[in-house]
Amino acid sequence: MSDSAVAKRDLRNLHWLWLSAAVIGLDQLSKQIASRLLDLHQPVPVIPFLNWTLTYNTGAAFSFLSDAGGWQRWFFAALTIVVAIIIVAWLMRLRTGQRWLAAALSLVLGGALGNLWDRLVIGAVVDFIDVYYSNWHWPAFNLADSAICVGAVMLVVSTFREG
């Protein structure tokens, strides 16, 4: 394959970034709405097993390192940037027709960048979705986290589909 054909293929795969941009936009919009309408740590019942509850997470998933003193903000920001570069490079190298994998990578990228924006601008990730059963509550999360999880599951499925 010629260098120009490889370059065209690499650039053509970048059209999947629309999905990442959509995730970032919806995530940021939902976080702005939650931040304006919800009071910190005050649950608003939506349906049984689901509340809107505004929280700010200075750590990573499940509040990992949330009480580390502040350095974790920059560590997770740097880690996210490295992962984002790897994902974009991976996306550019996909073969034509690998739509499932491209969508998975784009979801993970969009979610990661949505949370990165919060870390850089606010200093913490805005979470507001509170899923619970009886007195047990799953850690609060947001749309970016959901996109990352869906994308990760799709990545696992793609490894089984492609052998």
Set 27, 118, 127, 130: catalytic member: 127
* Phi, psi for residue 31 in degrees, rounded to 5: -70, -40
Give catalytic status of residue 145 as yes or no.
yes
Whose structure tokens read 């790897």? 86
Give catalytic status of residue 130 as yes or no.
no
What is the amino acid identity at position 158?
S
Taking every pair of Cα atoms in the chain, the longest distance, rounded to a whole number of angstroms, is 61
Where do runs of H (alpha helix) occur along 38-162? 71-93, 99-121, 143-162
Q: What positions carry a catalytic annotation?
A: 127, 145
